[in-house]
Structure 1
């Protein structure tokens, strides 16, 4: 432990905090009342607010500095600050999770909760139940945070009209919809048109549905991952997928990784897709040239003979 004289020396403590990150927990009680000492400690670690003198837990500057460093720091603030709308609004704009420790009345406040959700989407978990049932509010939250439907009231997740509006804003909200609505063709189609990877959450029957899968892969090539195996063998679907995301070649049936047109389309979109091409096509100069023109690092996946090719090396910026 520190000698008493040194422990009580303000400048010594401050210097220790600056250079050695001395926890406020170990600072003498009298110095825990000192704003400068506490602020220095909080700037090192927001959790230090827990050990500050009660008077400083009412200090807006101190608490806001703590929240900025530590998202749960509002827990240690004085109750008056947790009820202070202006202060809580400032706090949740810094760290959305701070909503968890706000007064219950402020968890009903749309502006406060939406600001929290904008900063940290999962903060919606701590909103008042009334807001989780509020259609307009949850839709606004989904715009800020794509997974907000997960925290919505169960009644909204079963509501067809609401879920349709939600997936039109963010397709992957389909994950949190009621299971019955994942079987609803109109909802699933709207979801995959907004974000192809929403196909992941659709009922299995729709993963065989040509219109739905084609819409999904055209929006996001990686949706091919969740398509039925028969469609991964279908040339039209795979070509559409790799044109959107070259690396979707990874999810194509093995036979289509030998298809020259498909592989060429893939590497033109993303050179590194060459990695997933059949070995024979890694010897194809046109394909390798297209790949390295798109992404020079694709050269590493070319056949050894083509790595020495002058034209290809030049395209890859090597001499």
Structure 2
């Protein structure tokens, strides 16, 4: 139904609006402001479509039950929650169980919380990009991220891209990541040996897989 046709309907009737948003949460955008501030209507909307949280009133974007319901259905809806709810460790944890990328919606405080960031990077190493600068300097956090996804090296601090343990953890999975290590590490004999070993292993695996070779050709 077009927005023009919707104008002819009774959007000031709570039961009507509730029926509409239960069928399609997107219809919350058509409701007047007072309806977007009705808790049962917004709950009905986000139950149908978690992104409907974007059209909820500021009060309900700060409602724990409403936000928890939306985030539980889809992590990215956390981006529409209030500042206070994005600073709620419990709600963020619900999002992080779906993907470490949810860290991008966390408050500055939580992006600087080591336990929170560890939870995120263990789920998805690339989430390191959303961590605080301080935690990008934390070797435990960076190593955990790299173990999850070697490309997390790209988001490590300059200091840790010059750390032999960190660089070895990355290049042992992907030899090309040596390009993102410090100049000192790029000429470190131990690291260079590991890179060559990784490249040799990759080549051996490639040659032993005719199907992959045909695809490459």
The bucket for the TM-score relative to the shorter chain is 0.7 to 0.9
* Structure 1 residue 148: Cα displacement: 1.3
Aligned to 1:273: 213
1:124 aligns with 2:103: yes
Aligned runs of 1:2-151 on 2, under 5 Å? 22-24=1-3, 26-28=5-7, 30-32=9-11, 33=13, 34=16, 35-40=18-23, 42=24, 46=26, 48-57=27-36, 58=38, 59=41, 60-67=43-50, 71=51, 73-151=52-130
Cα 1:275–1:105 change in 2 (3 A) is closer
Does residue 242 (structure 1) correspond to residue 182 (structure 2)? The answer is no
Which of 168, 171, 195 is residue 213 of structure 1 equivalent to?
Answer: 195
SS of structure 2 residue aligned to 1:103: coil
Calculate the TM-score normalised by the size of structure 2.
Answer: 0.79
Does the CA contact (< 8 Å) of 1:125 and 1:151 recur in 2? yes
Tell me the matched-pair count. 206
Write the distance in 1 (CA, Å) between the matches of 2:112 and 2:185: 29
Q: C-alpha displacement at 1:161, in angstroms?
A: 4.2
**Unmatched tracts of structure 1, length 5 or more:** 1-21, 218-223, 225-236, 247-262, 278-319
Structure 2, unpaired ranges of 5+: none
Q: In structure 2, do the counterparts of structure 1 residues 30 and 204 end up closer, same or farther at CA, with 3 Å as the change threshold? A: same
**SS where residue 93 of structure 2 aligns?**
helix
Structure 1 residues 179 and 36, CA gap change in structure 2 (3 angstroms): same
Task: Label 1:111 to 1:64 Cα distance change in 2 as closer, same or farther (>3 A).
Answer: same
- Measure, in 1, the Cα distance between the counterparts of 2:216 and 2:177: 24
Closer/same/farther in 2, CA of residues 159 and 272 from structure 1, 3 Å limit = closer
TM-score in terms of structure 1 length:
0.56
Q: SS where residue 53 of structure 1 aligns? A: coil
Distance 1:188-1:162 versus aligned 2 partners, 3 A rule? same
- The 1:138/1:266 distance shift into structure 2, 3 A limit, reads same
Does residue 1:176 correspond to 2:137, yes or no?
no
How far the C-alpha of 1:27 sits from its partner, in A, is 0.8
Greater helix share, structure number:
1
Q: Does 1:156 align with 2:135?
A: yes
RMSD: 2.8
What is the rounded CA distance, in whole Å, between the counterparts of 1:144 and 1:275 in structure 2?
Answer: 31
Instruction: Select the structure with the greater relative contact order (CA < 8 A; seq sep ≥ 6).
Output: 2
